[in-house]
C-alpha cells in the first residue's frame, strides 16, 4: 500500500520558482511512490479578505499550474476544498472538541492577528481546525509542510488523539514531514528573506507565469554583492542563491557551473541564468496555456478530483457523526 500524502495550497499570491523548486516539482516526481492528494484551500484563503474575482481566478490558476507542472490527474487527486462539504462539516465538529487553550497557542494566528488588528476574523482563529479536518478526513499518513505549518499538523495529531481517546480509533494520526528540498530559495531583492508568495515588491520573485521580459529584468536587478568571483559561497547570499537557482534549472553540477563562469562577470552569469529559467519554465508555461485555453476542461479535471476524494471524506465524516451520536438522515 502506498502512503497517502495530503498537501494544501492556498490560492492566493503568485506561485514562484521557490514553490516550484522546493515543492511542486518534487510532488510531480513522487506520484508513483505516494498516493498524493492536493487540495486548493479556498476556505482557508477567505480567513483574510479576498477579492471574489481574484479568488476564483487564483483557484483555477493554482490548479492549472499544478497540472502543468506534471501533476497527473490519473495518479493524483487535485481538488478545491469548498467542493467537498465534509471539510467544513468536520471542522465544525472538531471545534467542539478542541480546548480553546490549544488554539491560543498557535503562533501563526498570533503573528497574523497582530498585523491585522481589529480586522481579524473568527475564521482566522479557527484556521487550524479546518486544516485538521482537511488532513483527518483522508486517513492521511504524511503531510509535507514548511516549518511554519508544523505546529498546525502537531495540533491535528493532538486533536485526533483526544477524539480517539473518547470515541475509539476513528482518526489515523498523520505525521508532519518537513521535506528536505535541498534548496530554500531566497528573495531576489533581499537574499536574507525566503522567497514568498505574498511579498509586494515586484522584483522579489520570479513567478511561474512571468513573461520572458519580466524574468530577464528581475534577474538582472537581483541583489548580489560587490565582489567578482562567481562561486558557491553561502557567506555571499545573493550570488549563492542565484547559483542555486541556476544549478536546479540547468541540472549541471556545482563544479561544472564554477568552471563555466570562471573569469566571467555577474552580467553574463545573470543573462545565462535568466535564459536557463526561461527554458526551464517554457514547457510548464506552454502546458498551462493549453490547459487553460478551455476553462471547462480545467474545471472538469477539478470535478474529477473532488469526485475521487469525496467518498473517502464522507466515510470518515459518517464515522465521526456516528461516534458522537448524531442521528443519521434516512
Ligand atoms: P507556500 O508558498 O508557503 O504556501 O508554500 C508552498 C510550498 O512551497 C511548501 O511546500 C513550501 O515548503 C514550498 N516553498 C515555499 N517557498 C519556498 C522557497 N522560497 N524555497 C523553497 N521552497 C519553498
Ligand atoms: N495552512 C497551509 C499553508 O498555509 C495550507 C493548508 C491548508 C494545508 N490545509 C492543509 C497544508 C492541510 C497541509 C495540509 O501553507
Tens-place pLDDT, residues 89-139: 999 999 999 999 999 999 999 999 988 877 899 999 999 999 999 999 999
Q: Does residue 98 have its Cβ closer than 6 Å to ligand 1?
A: no
Among 291-295, 300-304, 318-322, the range scoring the smallest mean pLDDT is: 291-295
The x, y and z cell numbers of residue 194, run together, are: 525566503
112 classed as catalytic: yes
Nearest CA to ligand 1 atom 12: 146
197 classed as catalytic: yes
148 Cα nearest atom in ligand 1: 3
- Environment class of 222 (CB within 10 Å of its CB; exposed 0-12, middle 13-18, buried 19+): buried
Q: Does residue 10 have its Cβ closer than 6 Å to ligand 2?
A: yes
Nearest CA to ligand 1 atom 6: 19
Q: Which tens digit of pLDDT belongs to each residue from 75-93?
A: 999 999 999 999 999 999 9
Q: Does residue 145 have its Cβ closer than 6 Å to ligand 2?
A: yes
Give the pairing type, strands 142-144 and 175-177: parallel
Nearest CA to ligand 2 atom 6: 8
The x, y and z cell numbers of residue 144, run together, are: 509535507
Q: Which pLDDT does position 181 carry in this prediction?
A: 56
Return the best residue to mutate from 39, 59, 128, 156 for the ligand 2 pocket (most ligand atoms within 8 A of CB).
39
Nearest CA to ligand 1 atom 2: 197
- Environment class of 99 (CB within 10 Å of its CB; exposed 0-12, middle 13-18, buried 19+): exposed
Q: Does residue 7 have its Cβ closer than 6 Å to ligand 2?
A: yes
44 Cα nearest atom in ligand 2: 7
Q: Which pLDDT does position 219 carry in this prediction?
A: 98
Q: Does residue 191 have its Cβ closer than 6 Å to ligand 1?
A: no
Active-site residue (options: 150, 172, 197, 310): 197
Q: Does residue 22 have its Cβ closer than 6 Å to ligand 1?
A: yes
Q: Does residue 18 have its Cβ closer than 6 Å to ligand 1?
A: yes
Q: Does residue 23 have its Cβ closer than 6 Å to ligand 2?
A: no
53 classed as catalytic: no
- Kindly tell me if the per-residue pLDDT of 73 is higher than 60: yes
DSSP 329: P
CB 102 within 8 A of CB 155: yes
The mean pLDDT value of the chain amounts to 95
210 C-alpha to ligand 2 centroid (Å): 25
What's the rounded Cα separation, in Å, for the pair 326 and 330?
12
Instruction: Please give the torsion angle defined by the CA atoms of residues 139, 74, 67 and 76, in that order, rounded to the nearest 10 degrees.
Output: 10
Give the pairing type, strands 77-80 and 175-177: unpaired
Q: Do domains 4-178+294-324 and 212-289 have the same CATH topology?
A: no
- Environment class of 73 (CB within 10 Å of its CB; exposed 0-12, middle 13-18, buried 19+): middle
Nearest CA to ligand 1 atom 5: 19
Domain segments of the chain as ranges:
4-178+294-324, 212-289
Q: Which pLDDT does position 182 carry in this prediction?
A: 61
Q: Which tens digit of pLDDT belongs to each residue from 32-62?
A: 999 999 999 999 999 999 999 999 999 999 9
DSSP 16: B
| Of 281, 282, 287, nearest in space to 301 by CA | 287
Secondary structure of residue 4 in the 3-state scheme = strand
CB 2 within 8 A of CB 34: yes
What's the rounded Cα separation, in Å, for the pair 8 and 145?
9
226 C-alpha to ligand 2 centroid (Å): 40
Q: Which pLDDT does position 47 carry in this prediction?
A: 96
- Kindly tell me if the per-residue pLDDT of 306 is higher than 90: yes
Average pLDDT over residues 208-236: 97
CATH assignment of 4-178+294-324, among 3.30.420.10, 2.10.109.10, 3.40.50.620, 3.40.50.1370: 3.40.50.620
105 CB-side CA count, 13 A: 10
CB 309 within 8 A of CB 35: no
306 C-alpha to ligand 2 centroid (Å): 17
CB 131 within 8 A of CB 44: yes
202-206 — which CB contacts under 8 Å span 24+ positions? 205/14, 205/16, 205/17, 205/18, 206/16, 206/17, 206/277
- Kindly tell me if the per-residue pLDDT of 283 is higher than 60: yes
Measured in residues, the chain has a length of 330
Q: How far does Cα 92 stand from its chain's mean position?
A: 24
Residue 22 has φ and ψ, to the nearest 5°, of -90, -20
Q: Which tens digit of pLDDT belongs to each residue from 161-206?
A: 999 999 999 999 999 998 765 678 999 999 999 999 989 999 999 9
Q: Which tens digit of pLDDT belongs to each residue from 153-163?
A: 999 999 999 99
What's the rounded Cα separation, in Å, for the pair 134 and 152?
11
- Class of the CATH-defined domain 212-289: mainly alpha
Average pLDDT over residues 202-223: 98
Q: Which residues contact 166 (CB under 8 A, 6 or more apart)?
A: 97
CB 197 within 8 A of CB 247: no
**% of the chain beyond a pLDDT of 70:** 99
Amino acid at each position: 500500500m502506498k502512503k497517502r500524502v495530503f498537501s494544501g495550497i492556498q490560492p492566493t499570491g503568485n506561485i514562484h520558482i521557490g514553490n516550484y523548486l522546493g515543492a511542486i516539482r518534487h510532488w510531480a516526481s513522487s506520484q508513483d511512490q505516494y498516493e498524493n492528494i492536493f487540495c486548493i484551500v479556498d476556505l482557508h484563503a477567505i480567513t483574510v479578505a479576498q477579492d471574489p474575482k481574484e479568488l476564483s481566478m487564483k483557484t483555477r490558476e493554482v490548479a492549472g499550474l499544478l497540472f502543468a507542472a506534471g501533476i497527473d490527474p490519473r495518479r493524483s487527486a487535485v481538488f478545491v476544498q469548498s467542493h467537498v462539504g465534509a471539510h467544513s462539516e468536520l471542522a465544525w465538529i472538531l471545534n467542539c472538541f478542541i480546548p480553546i487553550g490549544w488554539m491560543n497557542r498557535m503562533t501563526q494566528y498570533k503573528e497574523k492577528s497582530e498585523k491585522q488588528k481589529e480586522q481579524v476574523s473568527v475564521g482566522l482563529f479557527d484556521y487550524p481546525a479546518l486544516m485538521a479536518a482537511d488532513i483527518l478526513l483522508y486517513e492521511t499518513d504524511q503531510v509535507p509542510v514548511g516549518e511554519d505549518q508544523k505546529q498546525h499538523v502537531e495540533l491535528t495529531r493532538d486533536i485526533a488523539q483526544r477524539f480517539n481517546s473518547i470515541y475509539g480509533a476513528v482518526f489515523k494520526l498523520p505525521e508532519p514531514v518537513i521535506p528536505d528540498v535541498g534548496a530554500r530559495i531566497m528573495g531576489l531583492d533581499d537574499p536574507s528573506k525566503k522567497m514568498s508568495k505574498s511579498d509586494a515588491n515586484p522584483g522579489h520573485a520570479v513567478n511561474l507565469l512571468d513573461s520572458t521580459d519580466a524574468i530577464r529584468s528581475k534577474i538582472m536587478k537581483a541583489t548580489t554583492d560587490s565582489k567578482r568571483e562567481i562561486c558557491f559561497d553561502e557567506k555571499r547570499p545573493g550570488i549563492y542563491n542565484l547559483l542555486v537557482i541556476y544549478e536546479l534549472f540547468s541540472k549541471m553540477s556545482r563544479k561544472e557551473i564554477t568552471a563555466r563562469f570562471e573569469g566571467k562577470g555577474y552580467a553574463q552569469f545573470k543573462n545565462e541564468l535568466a535564459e536557463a529559467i526561461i527554458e526551464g519554465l517554457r514547457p510548464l508555461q506552454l502546458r498551462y496555456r493549453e490547459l487553460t485555453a478551455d476553462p471547462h476542461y480545467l474545471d472538469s479535471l477539478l470535478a474529477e478530483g473532488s469526485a475521487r476524494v469525496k467518498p473517502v471524506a464522507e466515510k470518515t465524516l459518517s464515522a465521526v457523526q456516528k461516534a458522537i451520536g448524531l442521528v443519521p438522515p434516512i
